[in-house]
Structure 1
Amino acid sequence: MGGSARNRGGGRVKRKEVETEDGWTVVTHGLSNLSLGRGKDQAKSGGEHVSASLPVDIVRGLTPEKLLEDFKKLQERWEDSIVAKQVAELLNKRPCDIDSAVCIGIGSLSRDWHHRWRSLWQLVLFIDVVEHCKSQSTGEAGIKIYAQDPAFTTLDVTFLKELGIQVTETGLENHIGDASFVYSPFVDWYLLLPLFLKGKDPVLYVGNEILDDYTPYGQSQGKRERLDECNELGKLFLVDREMVKLGEFSLHANALNGMVVYRRREDATEKEKEKEEEGEP
């Protein structure tokens, strides 16, 4: 997963892991792509991290209104993209009834870094899926939407609130249920699986591919310590699920490329409904 050293794509750079001053693990792609997890805990268990800090300043003159303008411009461009049409086709072919949507680790949308455009594109995809699901939802309560990322600024929180997204500082995993949409663009496996997907069975997932064997990627001591658990969690997650890879996203090559969609197999979902109707556990 190469990153971008420019606003809207560009030369690839090597991926590095660093630990921010507030203890979060950060996976950098040129500037930064955040993965959620307490980096200090990993450092104690032998994880290899170096000290780094997030950019403090937000983009000069940026307001919630201007941020919304940026977002809407990307939404307009998104509509004609191949990936947007693929997502619409997937969700229209088999409607997805959800009651919650959680967005994990997209990074700041307002800090003065090139990564913010990547984050905005990732938010565009998240909101697009939520809107499709809203049009298909049968529940009267609607869809509750949550997001969590240590890089969020006050401006990010205000902007996301205007989009109907509640930002949580901790405990995002508590909002993941069987009728949830989980969105996790490139959060590392050794954080994603044990922290957010353990014991969870979301009906819809969009993000990096889940594997049943992470052995080739368990290079650091911290990752090796979680390897067996993550391999088991990956195997459990893949049971009765079907996967579709998203196509190439040419508008920002490093924002969405490599992402996949997981859904419960249709026959598995029907069995769950039958159990509920019959009152089985």
Structure 2
Amino acid sequence: MPHSSRKKRNPVSAQKRLEVTDDDGWTHVTSGSNVRRVVRTTKARSDRETNKADETELVLSPAEAPARLTFEELETQYKGYKERWVQSETWQKLRVHLDQRIHDQETETSSQDLNVDGIVCIGLGSPSGFLRDGWVDRRAVSMYQLAALETIKDVFTSANRSSSFPIYAQDPVFNNLDRALLESLGMTVVNTPVGFERVTSKTLLFCPGAERKHLDMLLPSNPKLVLGGPLENTESSIIQTYVEKTDSRTLVSFSAQEHAFWKMRLYYLAQAEA
């Protein structure tokens, strides 16, 4: 029997159709504008001679925030996430650890140098918007990570006794609301590749969502501290080289949102590597 009572598909759902080419060269049709793959024909002469495949690069668009979400509402939401983060055992343990390391450094009893002159955040994600045509809601993860970023920044700002402690945040999915929120917290939002270029040997690199190819670009700069990972067993010689020069501490499990800091570690270079 034919299903004559079945509702017709809403024509709105057919809008924003995209062609997506995956790593194997297959082209798929999807909807939405949040993510697309662009095949860049950047072959060098040697590539043409060896018939290498074209480079495929993932290009992300700003996340789509709920239409009625205002900055004031987003700010209120963030304050709630930050309060839960500050009260968590994860932050309490990390704060005590950082305070102790900084104190030991001031009294010259520590082999680690925690003297950083700025923070660079790569891959935070969108605190306000949905990804991949609304299928991925990572807002809570980004909110908690942003709270961690701000509280860590406050620890180092206080230790350095400086009100001009710079912090840069880079992620192509940031939308206007995200930018406004980060800037209200004293952070400078930058576009690719400015964030990569700000990493030095005196940087605290906050990279909860950085891809391996980005870490391969960032870690040769020998950032003083890295919060992210875990960096072990990545099958990257560049990342492994950095890990071998560091000590690390695993963050306590964050019960409010376990995936926000899943097995994440704080890595710091030994004094001799500074």
Q: Same fold (TM over 0.5)?
A: yes
* One-letter code aligned to 1:189: R
* One-letter code aligned to 1:268: A
Counterpart among 180, 183, 191 of residue 158 in structure 1: 180
Aligned-residue offset at 1:20: 7.6
Counterpart among 76, 88, 91 of residue 95 in structure 2: 88
CA separation of 1:53/1:240 partners in 2, compared to 1, >3 Å: closer, same or farther? Answer: closer
CA separation of 1:50/1:39 partners in 2, compared to 1, >3 Å: closer, same or farther? Answer: closer
Q: Which deviates the most, 43-52 or 184-193?
A: 43-52
Q: Specify the alignment match of 2:224 in structure 1.
A: 203
RMSD across aligned C-alpha pairs, in angstroms? 3.1
Higher Cα Rg: structure 1 or 2?
A: 2
Question: In the aligned structure 2, how far is the partner of 1:148 from the partner of 1:55?
Answer: 12
Contact 2:38–2:58 (8 Å) recurs in 1: no
Q: Specify the alignment match of 1:135 in structure 2.
A: 158
Question: In the aligned structure 2, how far is the partner of 1:179 from the partner of 1:165?
Answer: 18
Which whole-Å deviations, capped at 9, do the CAs of 1:17-70 have from their partners, x for residues lacking one?
Answer: xx989xxxxxxxxxxxx9xxx974599875997999768631232222221111
* One-letter code aligned to 2:173: A
TM-score (norm 1): 0.68
Which whole-Å deviations, capped at 9, do the CAs of 1:96-131 have from their partners, x for residues lacking one?
Answer: 332111110111122145211111111111111111
Task: Tell me the SS of whatever aligns to 1:178.
Answer: coil
Question: In the aligned structure 1, how far is the partner of 2:141 from the partner of 2:42?
Answer: 28
Which whole-Å deviations, capped at 9, do the CAs of 1:200-242 have from their partners, x for residues lacking one?
Answer: 121111001223x534xxxxxxxxxxxxxx31x1233124310
Q: Specify the alignment match of 1:102 in structure 2.
A: 120
* One-letter code aligned to 1:192: L
The answer to whether residue 123 in structure 2 is matched with residue 116 in structure 1 is no
CA separation of 1:70/1:159 partners in 2, compared to 1, >3 Å: closer, same or farther? Answer: same
Contact 2:118–2:166 (8 Å) recurs in 1: yes
* One-letter code aligned to 2:216: L
Q: List 4+ stretches of structure 1 deviating above 4 A.
A: 38-56
The answer to whether residue 158 in structure 2 is matched with residue 125 in structure 1 is no
Task: Tell me the SS of whatever aligns to 2:204.
Answer: strand
Question: In the aligned structure 2, how far is the partner of 1:202 from the partner of 1:52?
Answer: 26
Aligned-residue offset at 1:268: 2.3
> How do 1:1-281 residues align onto structure 2 when only pairs under 5 Å count?
40=39, 46=53, 57-95=64-102, 96-112=114-130, 113=134, 114-138=137-161, 140=162, 142-170=164-192, 171-194=194-217, 196-198=218-220, 200-211=221-232, 214-215=234-235, 230-231=236-237, 233-265=238-270, 267-268=271-272, 272=274
Q: Which deviates the most, 105-114 or 175-184?
A: 105-114
Q: Percent identity?
A: 26
Which whole-Å deviations, capped at 9, do the CAs of 1:162-209 have from their partners, x for residues lacking one?
Answer: 111111112211111122110111322233222x223x1211110012
* One-letter code aligned to 1:187: A
Unaligned segments of structure 1, at least 5 residues: 1-18, 22-33, 216-229, 273-281
Task: Tell me the SS of whatever aligns to 1:94.
Answer: helix
Question: In the aligned structure 1, how far is the partner of 2:20 from the partner of 2:122?
Answer: 17
* One-letter code aligned to 2:262: N
Question: In the aligned structure 1, how far is the partner of 2:208 from the partner of 2:61?
Answer: 19
Question: In the aligned structure 2, how far is the partner of 1:53 from the partner of 1:236?
Answer: 29
Task: Tell me the SS of whatever aligns to 1:61.
Answer: coil
